[in-house]
Amino acid sequence: MTRNWRTKSVEQSILDTDEPGTRLRKDLTWWDLTVFGVSVVVGAGIFTVTASTFGNITGPAISVSFIIAHGQANLATAFAINGVAWAAKVISIGALAGLTTVVMVLVLGQSRVLFAMSRDGLLPRTLARTGPHGTPVRITVIVAVLIAVAATVFPIGKLEEMVNVGTLFAFVLVSAGVVILRRTRPDLERGFKAPFVPVLPILSIAACVWLMLNLTGLTWIRFGIWMVIGIVVYLAYGRRHSVLGQREAAATS
Of residues 170 and 42, more confidence is placed in 170
Q: Where are the domains of the chain?
A: 155-213, 216-253
What's the pLDDT tens digit per position in 28-85?
677 767 776 777 676 666 666 665 655 555 555 555 555 555 555 566 666 666 666 7
- Over 56-115, what HEC string results? HHHCCHHHHHHHHCCCCCCHHHHHHHCCCHHHHHHHHHHHHHHHHHHHHHHHHHHHHHHH
Across residues 80-104, what is the average pLDDT?
A: 72
